[in-house]
Structures are given as structure tokens and as C-alpha cells.
Amino acid sequence: MAADDDEQLSIYDEVEIEDMTFDEALQTYHYPCPCGDKFEIALCDLQDGADIAVCPSCSLMIRVIFEAEDLPGVKGVGEEEGGKVVAVSA
């Protein structure tokens, strides 16, 4: 993200990814927001280089501090825990 983009965003806080909760079913990281809802950012967005989690109920945003190589792999359709591809029939 460019410095100009940072100046236009109003970042509430910076949070280490280790402090966030990962929802395996939704492949999304969550962190409590002061408004009572949760900041959220999808794993695929983090893997694409995004680092801003937003709260769906208010205008607050946080920057997620993480190392890309430490992110879990994305589970695609037809994959198991072990990363093996399983045939899926319709």
C-alpha cells in the first residue's frame, strides 16, 4: 500500500495477526471492534497483500501486522485437511 493511501485511510489501530481469531469455516480473521461488532479480513485478501481489516458495522479500520509466509493455506473446494485433492461429483 502506498504512503498516499495510508494518509487517506483513518486507521484505528495496528493489530498482530496472532491476536486475531481465525474462523476456518469462513477462512476469515476477526478482532473485536469497540462498537461491539468485529473487524474482519479474509485469508485470501491477506494472501493478496491486503492488510486492512474493516468493521461491517462502523467506519473503523485496523491494520493487520503479519508475515505472508506464516499464513495458513487456503482450503479450496474438494480439499481435505491434509491438502489432498478429493474428487467431487455433482
pLDDT tens column, 11-62 = 999 999 999 999 999 999 999 999 999 999 999 999 999 999 999 999 899 9
The pTM assigned to this predicted structure is 0.72
DSSP E strand boundaries for the chain: 11-16, 21-23, 28-32, 38-42, 52-54, 61-65
Q: Residue type for 71, please?
A: L
Q: What confidence score (pLDDT) does residue 10 get?
A: 87
3-state helix, strand, coil in the chain (%, to 5): 20, 30, 50
Q: What confidence score (pLDDT) does residue 81 get?
A: 46
Asked if residue 8 has pLDDT above 80, the reply is no
More confident residue, 72 or 9: 72
Asked if residue 80 has pLDDT above 50, the reply is no
